[in-house]
Structure 1
């Protein structure tokens, strides 16, 4: 009997020492968006699911208009309109709900959750996504603000610089459109060397939540790239690109230049590296290195967490971007902590 008691105590200690220490539940998200972290954490503290935590956490960022890159009133497109992208993934069921180019609806992550809960689809886009949202009871609202209108008008006054066109006439680097394609153009240089867009025009909240039982959920929300061509969809709402969750392993989320990063499914790749036994920090680094082989100076970062609560992050060094800030709240910590990783 004493032997059994000793073994039980020994196993308990293993679960609570460094390397096996219980840090669950855990919330980790991109950037210093602490109110979003706190909101997600409260859901877990009250016994809510990791999926609920991600939805509420990302929704908080939409309300707060985090850095102007999430939610309404930010990142107007070429027509001056703010549109939203979001996704949410359940690591237990592998179900996903996503929306892109969402118009007139402020709670994009909520609509993504509705796609997951109330449809057999995974991804709805554009005007049809907005109509779906309205049918689900989401309020029709104008996403334009004085600030976003000012951003748009200043851009027009600067001859529409910067923008996302290439191989067109008139010269997109000097003037506004409408544009027409150049016939017989020479191969353009890689996007990462030609597209001198403000780094923060690509910010996204990506979040991972792991509850006490190790159930994993992830999600993202963004208003996309500032001055994007209308209809553009980046990596954020795409499962495996913007985020990915698998409760048997862990979760990951990405932020940065989505037009590049989505080509490599970095969140899926990071989770697969963790499945092979890599620690989260190493999985993130290896994922970033994989993209750098093709785009050495790309702007982007990945956060990773496994289902036991270990976590990490990595970023790609780019001009003006040498460190990446992310936020963590876990068992044993009373307030969200801003952590920093040096880019590779």
Structure 2
């Protein structure tokens, strides 16, 4: 050190001390780079000062970060579905798993014939058939899905059976229906009088043009964290009303309609599925949280990706909700009108999502 100091005292030079990016500063999209340039002779005192400053910086970096106490248990769902989140909360409060909670929660909407966007009573396709899509994902990364399922009210439960009782991730159409019957599910007529009457009225003109927020809700997606900190998610829908026969959107597709990473958090989507699939939206939200974004920031960026690539974004609606490992939540959409329900020890509330427009 004395040799280095003597050498520095004999020569005048330019020294640049670059600040090291601190990986804990995770909420910033871009990290500003700055440098301080000192011109002149560095004395022994100045060098010693630099050494002391470096030690202080290292101590600060190595010090444990202060974190908020995790919020758990918690249940969050797309749209204002208080019965669903209350059912999920009951499971969580009694010590049940997040997987049981999300399945129980969305089943409430699947069984509600007044909800014409999921399960029994859902609006049919152009040919008058009610076809359901659903997926479920647990804290271990296991998942199951069904697409184009007919005659079974609880598509989410069939999806769970696919996850737990088969080596597959997804079953479709007649195969999914056959599997459901083998698992003991009852065959039902899902087309209610109300949905049938509306379909017959639609057939008079048969012009399909999706209307933004035509109803209070469409896809039901739910995320939950149980008392052990494990995260699970579920997503179920009857799809677009009067869709082309065979059409499948984002809801049953792991990574698009739903994604969970137990180390990071989870996300689920609602709205026009085609746009969500193009950006693998729910996976994107979780990966953004992995990179340090908050749930709110991640949802906003995922919506911005859609807007950036679609010049006709004003004609569509997409919304996301997300939750991170600490139980922090967020939601964002293109158009106003989307909301999400949250249930914690602190209360049960419906939150109006912020929007791009």
* Band of TM-score, shorter chain: 0.7 to 0.9
- For the residue of structure 2 that corresponds to 1:104, the secondary structure is coil
2:319 is matched with 301
Are the aligned partners of 1:22 and 1:331 in contact in 2 as well (CA < 8 Å)?
Answer: no
Aligned partner of 1:106 in structure 2 is: 153
The residue aligned with 1:156 is 203
1:311 aligns with 2:350: no
2:213·2:337 contact (CA, 8 Å) conserved in 1? no
Name the residue aligned to 2:19.
none
Tell me which residue corresponds to 1:56: 104
- CA–CA distance in structure 2, aligned partners of residues 40 and 103 of structure 1: 25
Aligned to 2:77: 29
Give the Å deviation of 1:64: 1.8
**Pairing of 1:115-134 with structure 2 (within 5 A):** 115-134=162-181
Q: Which runs of 5+ in 1 are unaligned?
A: 1-13, 163-194
Aligned with 1:90 (options 133, 138, 146): 138
Alignment partner of 1:282 out of 297, 301, 320? 297
Given the two structures, how large is their TM-score scaled by the length of structure 2? 0.78
Deviation at 1:198, TM superposition (A): 5.1
TM-score (norm 1): 0.81
Contact 2:117/2:123 (<8 A) preserved: yes
Residue 113 of structure 2 contacts residue 192 of structure 2 at CA under 8 Å; is this kept in 1?
Answer: no
Q: Can you list the C-alpha shifts for 1:114-164, whole angstroms capped at 9, x where unaligned?
A: 00110010000111100100000000111111011101100112x2122xx
CA distance in 1, matches of 2:337, 2:146: 30
- Distance in 1, Cα, partners of 2:212 & 2:131: 19
Size of the aligned set, in residue pairs, is: 287
Cα pair 2:95 2:227 within 8 Å, conserved:
no
Question: Deviation of residue 273 (structure 1)?
Answer: 0.5
CA contact (8 A) 1:209 1:218 kept: yes
Q: Which ranges in structure 2 are unaligned for 5 or more consecutive residues?
A: 1-65
Match of 1:235 in 2: 250
Secondary structure of the corresponding residue to residue 214 of structure 2: helix
In 1, Cα distance between equivalents of 2:337 and 2:301: 17
Deviation of residue 323 (structure 1)?
A: 3.3
Check if 1:43 corresponds to 2:94.
no
* Shift in Å, 1:238: 0.2
Would the aligned equivalents of 2:112 and 2:120 in 1 still touch at CA under 8 Å? no
Q: Deviations over 1:70-124 (max 9, x none)?
A: 1111211111111111100013x21111001101111100000000110010000
CA contact (8 A) 1:236 1:243 kept: yes
**For 1:67, what is the secondary structure of its paired residue?**
coil
- Cα distance in 2 for partners of 1:337, 1:81 equals 35
Separation in structure 1 between the aligned mates of residue 155 and residue 308 of structure 2, nearest angstrom:
33
Give me the whole-angstrom Cα distance separating, in 2, the residues matched to 1:338 and 1:126: 35
Higher relative contact order (CA 8 A, sep 6+): 1
Structure number, greater radius of gyration: 2
